[in-house]
Every structure is written in structure tokens, then in C-alpha cells.
Structure 1
Amino acid sequence: MTLPEENTRLQAELNAAVHAHWKALLIEGVLFVIFGLAAIILPPFASLAFTILLGWMLLISGVIGLALTIWARQSPGFWWSLASAVVALIAGVILLARPLEATLTLTIVVGAYFLAEGVVTIMYALEHRRELIERWGWLLASGLADLLVAAVIISGLPGTALWAIGLLVGINLLFGGASMIAMALAARNR
């Protein structure tokens, strides 16, 4: 359990660290904005690049996981760790071997995610509208927006596979970068 004075100390240390490194945060934010805009302008390229990047990440994590699992084969949960490493390895190989088809599959998964997230968010908003009073409408709107994104992605398949992931990654990078820039500029002025 964290004490209030410890929270204050941690917050002061965090503020000092951000202030000391505001330029690095600013540079990272600018790069995120540039990459985000590039992904929004060229979503097919960004979708394919993201699929390939994800494939390499899974392949590398599968290889490392396999090596570490074999190295620590006497550890509890050996077979689960081995299965996890093999699944990551196979998924990485599949993504890298057939990136166009993998992009379509990832787009289907993203569409299903937005559909499920939308339904769950709407149900949560309706279930807790008494406790949330005025804010439950925001949750409801968020859930409806998720359903709209899911409908656009799913109804446009397979064509949406060309742009959906790249556009979503681009929007995420753009907003993440903008928030980093805002934090850096605020920290600079402190």
C-alpha cells in the first residue's frame, strides 16, 4: 500500500525526470507524429509493414522463448512454456511467409476486437449508468463508435485489409506523439 507522502515523492521524482529529459520526449513525440502521418497517408504500406514487424517480433520471441525454455527445462510449467514459444515461432513464420494474407487475418481479428469491445463497453455503460450519472453517455458513445469501426472494417473485407491496420496504427502514433509533444513542452516550462 502506498502512503500519500510516498505518492508525492514519486510524483516529484517523475516530474523532475520528465523535466530533465524533455528534449528526448519532444524528439520521440515528433518522430511518432511523422510516422503516424506517414501511416495515415500510406495505409497499405503501413499495414504491410506492421504485419511484417509483428511477424519478426513473434519469430524472435519464439526463438528466445524456445531457447530459454529448453535451458530451464527443469522449471515448473515447462510444457506450457514450450507450447507458448512454439506457437509464437509458428505465428511469426506464418506472418513473414505470407504477409498479405496475414494482413487480412489481422484485419479480421481487429474487426472482431472492435465488435466485442463495443458490445462490452455499451453493456458496461448501461449496467452502471446510475453510478456514472452524467459520464455514462461518454461510455455509450465510445461503445457505439467501436461498433461503427467494426462495421466499416468487417463490411468492407477483404478491401479494408489494405488500409485498416495501417490507418489505426497511424492514428495511434499521431495521438501518442502529440501527447508526448504536449508533455515535453509542459515539462520544459516548469
Structure 2
Amino acid sequence: MTMPQDIARLQSQMRETVKSHWKGFLIEGIVLVILGLAAIAIPQLASIAIAIFLGWMFLISGALGLYLTIAAREMPGFWWALTSAALAIIAGLVLLVQPVAGTLTLTIVVGVYFLAEGVATIMYALEHRSQLSGRWGWLLTAGIFDILVAGAIITGLPGTAAWAIGLLVGINLVFGGTSLIGMALAARDS
């Protein structure tokens, strides 16, 4: 069981670690903001780059999975593992050979995700409105925003496939980088 003094000591160690490495966090934050702004400025290129990156990830993980599955073919579930590895290799090859088409598939998945996330967030907000006092409205707003983003992405297909993934990843990088910059500057000043 974790004791309060253990938690306090861990928090203190984390603060000291961040403080001693604040420059690294600052540099990382700046790089993320720059990459994010580039993705926002050229979302089509960023979308294709993400599809290619995911293609390599699938291809490498599938090849490794295939090797390990064949090496351990006596294990139960061999055919399922073999099927999984083959699907990863195929998905990787498709994304590498047809990255533009891959962005369409990725955009559909992201659109469906935002739709599901929005509905879940709205239901969560409504279910907890009595416990979360005035803050449940923020959850409700976030859920509605997710559904609006999903609607814009899905109804705009196939045109949104050219820019949606790159734009969303760019926005995420800017917010993540800004958070790291803020954390680094706060650690420096503490």
C-alpha cells in the first residue's frame, strides 16, 4: 500500500527531475510547436507523412510478429497470431504503397472515434451532472464539440481526408508542445 509520505517523496523527486532538466523539456516543447505549426500549415503533407509512418510501424511490427510466431509455432493460438502478423504486414504495405488512400481510411477511423467519444462524453456529463456541479457543462460542451468535429470530418469525405489527420495531429502537437514549454518555464522559475 502506498503511504502519503511515499507519494510526497515521489512528487518531490519528480519536481526536482523536471527542474534539473527544464531546458530539455523547453527544447522538446519548442520542437513540438514548430512541427505542429508545420502540420497545420501543410496538413496534406502531414497527413501523408502520418500514413507513411503508420505504414512502417505496421510493417515492422507485423514482420517481428511473424518471426516470433513462426519461432514459437508450438504455442496455442498459432494461427491467430499468424493471421494478426500477416494483417499487420498487409496494412503496412497498403499504407506505404497507397498513402493517400490510407489517409482516407485513417480519416474515417478518426471521424468515427470523435463521434463515439462525443456521445460517450455527453452521456458521462449527463450521468454525473449532480456530482460535478457546474463543471458537467464543460464535459457536455466537449462532447458536443467532438460530435461537431466528427460531423465535419465524416460529411466532408473524401475531401477531408486530405487535411483532417494532419490538422488534428498538428493541433495536438502545438498543445502538447505548449504544455511542455509551460512546464519547463515553471520548473525553471521554481
CA distance in 1: counterparts of 2:78 and 2:11, whole angstroms: 40
TM-score w.r.t. length of structure 2: 0.94
CA distance in 2: counterparts of 1:158 and 1:148, whole angstroms: 17
CA distance in 2: counterparts of 1:3 and 1:65, whole angstroms: 41
- Aligned-pair identity in percent equals 65
Paired letter, 2:22: W
TM-score w.r.t. length of structure 1: 0.94
Residue 24 of structure 1 corresponds to which residue in structure 2? 24
**Partner deviation per Cα, 1:107-136 (whole Å, 9 max, x = no partner):** 111111111111111111112211222111
Residue 108 of structure 1 corresponds to which residue in structure 2? 108
Paired letter, 1:115: L
CA distance in 2: counterparts of 1:158 and 1:106, whole angstroms: 11
CA distance in 2: counterparts of 1:185 and 1:80, whole angstroms: 49
Residue 158 of structure 1 corresponds to which residue in structure 2? 158
After TM superposition, give the deviation of residue 187 of structure 1 in Å: 1.3
Paired letter, 1:163: W
After TM superposition, give the deviation of residue 6 of structure 1 in Å: 1.0
2:49 is aligned with 1:49? yes
Residue 181 of structure 1 corresponds to which residue in structure 2? 181
Residue 58 of structure 1 corresponds to which residue in structure 2? 58
RMSD, matched Cα: 1.4
Structure 1 segments (4+ residues) deviating >6 Å: none
Structure 1, unpaired ranges of 5+: none
Residue 86 of structure 1 corresponds to which residue in structure 2? 86
In terms of mean alpha carbon deviation, does 177-186 or 82-91 score higher?
A: 82-91
2:34 is aligned with 1:34? yes
Q: Secondary structure at the match of 2:117?
A: helix
CA distance in 2: counterparts of 1:159 and 1:5, whole angstroms: 55
Paired letter, 1:3: M
Residue 136 of structure 1 corresponds to which residue in structure 2? 136
2:89 is aligned with 1:96? no
In terms of mean alpha carbon deviation, does 40-49 or 65-74 score higher?
A: 65-74
CA distance in 2: counterparts of 1:82 and 1:24, whole angstroms: 42
- Give the 3 Å change call, closer, same or farther, for CA 40–71 of structure 1 in structure 2: same
Paired letter, 2:18: V
Residue 171 of structure 1 corresponds to which residue in structure 2? 171
Residue 149 of structure 1 corresponds to which residue in structure 2? 149
CA distance in 2: counterparts of 1:22 and 1:74, whole angstroms: 50
CA distance in 2: counterparts of 1:17 and 1:85, whole angstroms: 39
Paired letter, 1:166: G
Paired letter, 1:152: A
Q: Secondary structure at the match of 1:73?
A: coil
CA distance in 1: counterparts of 2:79 and 2:133, whole angstroms: 49
After TM superposition, give the deviation of residue 66 of structure 1 in Å: 1.7
Residue 125 of structure 1 corresponds to which residue in structure 2? 125
2:8 is aligned with 1:13? no
CA distance in 2: counterparts of 1:21 and 1:74, whole angstroms: 47
**Partner deviation per Cα, 1:108-167 (whole Å, 9 max, x = no partner):** 111111111111111111122112221111110000000110111111111111110000
